[in-house]
Structure 1
Amino acid sequence: MLETNNALLLVGDAALYFTALAALFRVRKRIGLGAFFCALGVMHFLETYLASYFYVALPLGIVTSPGSTVLFTGKLMMLLLLYIREDAVVVRQPIYGLLFGNVLLFALAFV
């Protein structure tokens, strides 16, 4: 029963994540893409943390992390949606930002 509850929580998390980011994406013409990019960047930290340290049990003996199943796939879906609606130049901005942030975090870990 606990595994079923975990699966339902993952579905709820995915629905809430998609709804929030889709709402920011929809109002991008009024408020700009900055809010959308900031939300993706903030959720990237949570995604990485959850994928590293937090796992849940699902039915059929499957163990997964909400960071990798919900947040990472949701981020990829939103970046693909941005690529379809805007342009490759626009999509490169958050990708380069996330890459730079990861490299900086890696470098700071050794200081």
Structure 2
Amino acid sequence: MHAVIRQYGIGPLFIFLGAIQFFQTILASSVYNVFFESFTFSPGSTVLFTSTLYSIFLIFHTESLKKTRSLIYGLVFSNIIITVLSYISLEQAIADRNSGNLIFLQNIFNFDISLFLTGTSLLYIDSMLLIIFYELLNYKIKGYLFIKIILVTSIVNLFDSVVFYSLNFFTNENFYDLLLGNIIGKQITVIFFSIIIYIYLSLIYKKERVTRPENLREAFKIFSF
């Protein structure tokens, strides 16, 4: 793992995270599964979105704050670019009525842009909250890495579920089922991802963070440039 990182850097991870944003939105808007015969959830929101937040946390914990900011803003800009290109491609497909791929392109690009933009905005807010909350806990508490990871990611994902579904699906007749399913699905995902990240940081990476915030002001350094 470390040899691969030394040879290729973390650029491929950044590219991969940017590439799955479109796929994540398509799943969140159109693909839902039922688990425990009661709760409905989207793998795009519960798994892919949550994995993106954990990737941001991992970069923040193992790399510099500068690289973390680069990743966050890179994901936001890539989402905006994808939205613009998708809209242009859809308009071109609609204008070219003779195109044999019209239906295919409409199925791919005809997603709810407001859903995409809401997700992008929340990705930025969630990332900032994730880092700030984690730094505040680091400032107050030394050690207890697993508890800090699962507590912070659980709160941020709960916030994301409530805001995202309230803004986009409040008028849906299945709003409460979708919201509850997303909350439960994300919290289950949080448990698994927290265990994986903790095992990696404590047993494989085996390095403490170089610095801990010395005061509350340092906990908000994510906003400085």
* Match status 1:45 vs 2:18: no
Partner of 2:13: 36
User: CA separation in 2, counterparts of 1:102 and 1:31?
Assistant: 24
Mapping 1:91-102, distance limit 5 Å: 91-102=68-79
Q: TM-score scaled by structure 1? A: 0.68
- 1:4 aligns with none
| Superposed structure 1 runs of 4+ greater than 3 Å apart | 105-108
CA contact (8 A) 2:18 2:79 kept: no
Distance in 1, matches of 2:18 and 2:77, equals: 11
CA contact (8 A) 2:27 2:43 kept: yes
Distance 1:80 1:26, change over 3 A: farther
Structure 1: how far apart are the matches of 2:46 and 2:3?
24
Post-superposition offset of 1:28: 1.9
**Match for residue 57 of structure 1 among 5, 24, 34:** 34
Q: Which amino acid aligns with 2:24?
A: E
Q: Does 1:72 align with 2:49?
A: yes
- Cα distance in 1 between the residues matched to 2:8 and 2:61: 19
1:26 shift after superposition:
7.1
CA distance in structure 2 between the aligned counterparts of 1:97 and 1:57, rounded to whole angstroms = 33
In structure 2, relative to structure 1, the CA distance for the partners of 1:46 and 1:54 (3 Å cut) is: same
* Mapped partners of 1:46, 1:107: distance in 2: 15
Distance of 2:25 and 2:5 partners within structure 1: 26
2:151 equivalent in structure 1: none
Secondary structure of residue in 2 paired with 1:63: strand
Output the CA distance in 2 between the equivalents of 1:101 and 1:75.
14
- Kept after mapping to 2: 8 A contact 1:79/1:91: yes
Q: Which runs of 5+ in 1 are unaligned?
A: 1-22
* Greater C-alpha Rg: 2
Q: Secondary structure at the match of 2:40?
A: strand
The number of residue pairs the alignment matches comes to 88
Deviation at 1:60, TM superposition (A): 4.6
Aligned 8 A contact 1:28 1:36 in 2 = no
Q: Deviations over 1:23-79 (max 9, x none)?
A: 6x8722211111111111112221111111110111151000000111111111111
8 Å contact from structure 2 (residues 32, 43) kept in 1? yes
State, as a whole percentage, how many aligned pairs show the same letter.
36
Q: Cα RMSD between the aligned structures?
A: 2.1
Q: Structure 2 regions of 5+ residues with no counterpart?
A: 92-225
Query: What is the TM-score of this pair, normalised by structure 2?
Result: 0.36
Separation (CA, whole Å) in 1 of partners of 2:66 and 2:53: 16
